A and B are shown apart, each in its own frame.
Chain A
């Protein structure tokens, strides 16, 4: 089935995000790395700051030393030239106010010591790290000049203790700031981590729950079902799996658009939530497919619940101004009889669902071994249809449409037939749904248009210039590829005037009459072909739609024609349709006319055109030609 691959993908993604343990390890690794990189960055910044500050402090210190030395030098010049060493020593003694100066000495040219000063008290040894870093002491010397002559040299040795003290203070502040920064960064990262964890938890939840309906999704369903089956196996109990989809959901989605379809799914989920028990696991597998797993249920209980669900979904859902009647079909598989694994059980339920749909929808079916064969048959059908076009297994047959007053032939409805070498004659009711599901409908539609146009051309060439041929157009052909272009090409290829082509559209194609569909209909009308509304009376078409759409013809469904004039309801409906068509200026064609009585009744009512076995069965073109 086409949707299976999509679901499998979702399933895989869900599986991937279900692995929290390696995720947590990964998370811790990142945390550590974050911490390290922050610490490293702060460490580097701290080192740079400290080294820059050291350089600045050293320069400051040197500058202060130079200032002091030049002051003492200026004061000592006279003492030097007048040889007053005592006075010079007095000058140097001023350094006692600068505790960092360890010694100051004045040397005469030639290296003779003239005066000196040494700091009193025990000189503390610098710590070894200071010596290692060159931060123990600093020496400074400058010449003492008078009238451009160097009369002496002053040499200072200073202890870098004050610088070291300021440095240590600075380092303490910077390290404190760095640690504070690290603390702040850690706090921020912790918040970030919490947010990430929440996001991850959300992801895990999203991986297990359907965001649209809030129901558990396929991943959750599989895990849960595995557990339930394991429990049932251990306890020797049974379990029932109900697999269902909505009968008309595709039509709603295609005609009213996805937003309406989504709202409908929500409403359905809400409705189901009210009818199923809390202990039963209701999941949405995707699209319009739901499952209900019932622990410990036997055949009797399962069918009762299925009936319950069908009744619950039978009422119309009011969505956005539309009354949507959808209904559901249910396939039921029992554990362990119909499958002992989740996969097998789901496959069996799917086959049963298909059988329920084939049985006319709005119903439920238990799985039986024969269904596997039916599912197999459908696959064969699908594969055969793919080849049918290329192999020329498809052909068109034509059923006459006559003027019931005069009995004159006025046209044909073109119908498709498939004669498969493997399957024999396959009815459109069997293969058209398959073609619609697989997208082959576009190729089939093209084939029908081209064949019908070519055949009509032949009839025109034979001189039967009054004929109009009707071709059925599937609702699916309105979506996707260009229907208008396809019609134009078919007409051009056969060189057929458009007035000889009529397109029959089912009511479902018009449902909601989205602008897109209206545009296509207007384009077809502009092309010159006429448009008929097929199977009128059983579907959803409203009078207001009829009025604003370029529809020329109504075809009354055979179900109403079948029992007239005996059935008074059908008579009333048919009368109303004909009257309404007359009022709107539409012509009417009755389908399924089989008796003279019906013909007379309809003609008297004002329905002048008819189609049915009374006038001729659908036959190949040659047969029709012969009949005339």
Chain B
């Protein structure tokens, strides 16, 4: 319903059948307690979402959890629930529910207005993002 914000679920669908056995694909709405519960006990968690950093639309970003943890807490909670991924990280740390390893793959979005599908550059980035997710798990020690 928020165009480019739908890239996470789109990538999840694209990669669903290409992951090793034992990997769960979960679509979440960004509410931190759900994120934290989903992470609990995982060896590796790959979060896929849309971001806005000023890069060209469709750019694929990759951060690992350690670098995200070093970021200062945001002064403007940006999600519709007043809490976001960084709060989920902090909450997960406080409640011992972080995965052993966390990777965030994010696709640069531009259009977050009402609409039921992402814009062109973001749609074009979905196959590469799905491949990147699959590669994270292919590289992971079994």
**Do A and B originate from a single complex?**
no
**A-side interface residues toward B, CB under 8 Å?**
none
**B-side interface residues toward A, CB under 8 Å?**
none
